[in-house]
Amino acid sequence: MFSTYIRRLSAQSTVAMACTFLASAASAQPSEPIKVGLMLPTSGTFAELGKKVANGFKLYVTENGGKLAGRTVQYVELDDESDPSKANENTNKLIKRDRVDVLVGTIHSGVAMTMARVARDTNTLMIVPNAGAAELTGSMCAPNVFRTSFSNWQPGYASGLLAARKRKTAVTISWKYAAGDESVRGFREGFEKGGGRVIKDLNLPFPNVEFQPLLTELATIKPEAAYVFVAGAGQVKFVRDYAAAGLKNSIPLYGAFITEGTLEAQGEAASGLQTALHYADGLKNAKNDAFIASHKKALNTVPDVFAVQGYDAAQLFAAGLNAVKGDTGKKAEMIKAMESAKLDSPRGPLSFSKSHNPIQDMYARVAIGKQNVMTDVIVKTLADPSLDCKL
Ligand code: BEZ
């Protein structure tokens, strides 16, 4: 009797297990919402940047009726605090606990490198909408990891070419972490290519904003130009401190992100600053006109490069999803479609190199009023060499 009961129980549990299996198989079907893990900072130095990226991503989805490839989009959002020491746990939460279909993040290079390691180990699709760490599309490149922003080398290199047009000696100032080091390396390469020479590299720990000792040393060295990499909340203080120290007219300041999205807060201190980036305010193309109008309508603000990068992360994901009619199980096909995607980005045409890094034009800009106005194209279709990527 007892054994018959056990057999019946076990048969019942087999049926139950089969039902569970069928249910979970069904949950992978395209009729279910698609889960997007947004791992971005909403607190700390890069909070504004994280919010802009998230808004850009969501804007594209909203423009498409809240769906991608016919599937409703569900967001799982996590504040990474730009803290590399929490990155492993945070990434695992999104992948293993929340079972996201795609991981979108982040701003800080150190956090993004850990995310990419976990994404690679779990074969989770990941799209980097900002962090420029060379390794992401270099030695750590992977079939399932894409970037819609830049490698730190790209804007650094373009800034070096820009500064070398008029100046022949420079001092660099940067936060001491992957992004700062790589941005300065890119600047040096471009500056030397244009006939310039970097005299000294100064730095301070991320996200320290005590710039005064470095500005004092800069004033003593008296180079023809200075190049700076700090971002987010740090860039507003740096530009104000630079002007207050009386350096703005004596040592022209160059940068990539230094005036991006913050001209209102920086005011007169930023006026006339020259920067090099893959986007400019009011860039003239049909897609950007539509993007600016849509962003203003939905968010009541003018977009900047961070919003563009988030928007393009959604566009790239959509390109992959459309190719498989929303079936994320067909990962190899999705990746193939993403690799060959030619996006109509607000920044201009956007395609991807073999390492999955953007190939894009780099613009010279000057800060006039509340706009970083494009003056010319410094380099067309600039691709990161990504020599260490073995894809
Ligand atoms: C980075 O950590 O890669 C980064 C952060 C802010 C702006 C640009 C790059």
CB 212 within 8 A of CB 219: no
Q: Is 1 exposed, middle or buried (0-12, 13-18, 19+ CB in 10 A)?
A: exposed
Element (H, E) at 377: strand 371-382
Per-residue pLDDT, 31: 79
Domain total for the chain?
2
Look at residue 14 and tell me if it is in a domain: no
CA of 175 to the centre of ligand 1 (A): 10
- Domain of residue 251 covers 153-277
The DSSP secondary structure of 215-268, one letter per residue, reads HHHHHHH--SEEEEE--THHHHHHHHHHHHTT-TTTS-EEESSTTTT-HHHHGG
CA of 229 to the centre of ligand 1 (A): 9
Please name which of 313, 368, 387, 360 lies closest in space to residue 59, comparing C-alpha atoms.
313
Residue 107 beta carbon below 6 angstroms from any ligand 1 atom? yes
Do residue 230 and residue 252 come from a single domain?
yes
Whether the ω angle into residue 106 lies within 30 degrees of 0, i.e. cis, is: yes
CA of 153 to the centre of ligand 1 (A): 11
Do residue 300 and residue 273 come from a single domain?
no
Do residue 52 and residue 92 come from a single domain?
yes
Residue 352 beta carbon below 6 angstroms from any ligand 1 atom? no
Atom of ligand 1 nearest to the CA of 131: 3
Read off the amino acid at residue 282.
G
Look at residue 22 and tell me if it is in a domain: no
Residue 231 beta carbon below 6 angstroms from any ligand 1 atom? yes
Look at residue 245 and tell me if it is in a domain: yes
Residue 261 beta carbon below 6 angstroms from any ligand 1 atom? no
Residue 257 beta carbon below 6 angstroms from any ligand 1 atom? yes
Look at residue 15 and tell me if it is in a domain: no
Per-residue pLDDT, 282: 86
Residue 131 beta carbon below 6 angstroms from any ligand 1 atom? yes
Do residue 173 and residue 256 come from a single domain?
yes
CA of 48 to the centre of ligand 1 (A): 12
Look at residue 70 and tell me if it is in a domain: yes
Do residue 222 and residue 237 come from a single domain?
yes
> What's the CATH number where 157 sits?
3.40.50.2300
CB 140 within 8 A of CB 169: no
Residue 109 beta carbon below 6 angstroms from any ligand 1 atom? yes
Do residue 131 and residue 273 come from a single domain?
no
Do residue 56 and residue 90 come from a single domain?
yes
Look at residue 103 and tell me if it is in a domain: yes
CB 178 within 8 A of CB 133: yes
Atom of ligand 1 nearest to the CA of 107: 5
Do residue 260 and residue 317 come from a single domain?
no
Domain end point (choices 258, 277, 296): 277
Element (H, E) at 191: helix 178-193
CA of 46 to the centre of ligand 1 (A): 9
Tens digits of pLDDT across the chain (391 residues): 333 333 333 333 333 333 333 333 334 446 799 999 999 999 999 999 999 999 999 999 999 999 999 999 999 999 999 999 999 999 999 999 999 999 999 999 999 999 999 999 999 999 999 999 999 999 999 999 999 999 999 999 999 999 999 999 999 999 999 999 999 999 999 999 999 999 999 999 999 999 999 999 999 999 999 999 999 999 999 999 999 999 999 999 999 999 999 999 999 999 999 999 999 998 999 999 999 999 999 999 999 999 999 999 999 999 999 999 999 999 999 999 999 999 999 999 999 999 999 999 999 999 999 999 999 999 999 999 999 999 8
Do residue 252 and residue 318 come from a single domain?
no
Domain end point (choices 219, 242, 277): 277
Do residue 143 and residue 38 come from a single domain?
yes
**Phi, psi at 328, each rounded to 5°:** -65, -10
Instruction: Look up residue 190 and give its two tokens.
Output: 């471009």
Residue 256 beta carbon below 6 angstroms from any ligand 1 atom? no
Per-residue pLDDT, 11: 36
Atom of ligand 1 nearest to the CA of 108: 2
CB 270 within 8 A of CB 367: yes
Do residue 146 and residue 160 come from a single domain?
no
Look at residue 377 and tell me if it is in a domain: no
380 vs 35, 349, 355, 376, CA distance in Å?
A: 36, 11, 19, 10
Per-residue pLDDT, 30: 67
Look at residue 50 and tell me if it is in a domain: yes
CB 277 within 8 A of CB 283: no
Atom of ligand 1 nearest to the CA of 133: 3
Do residue 39 and residue 125 come from a single domain?
yes
Domain end point (choices 261, 277, 293): 277
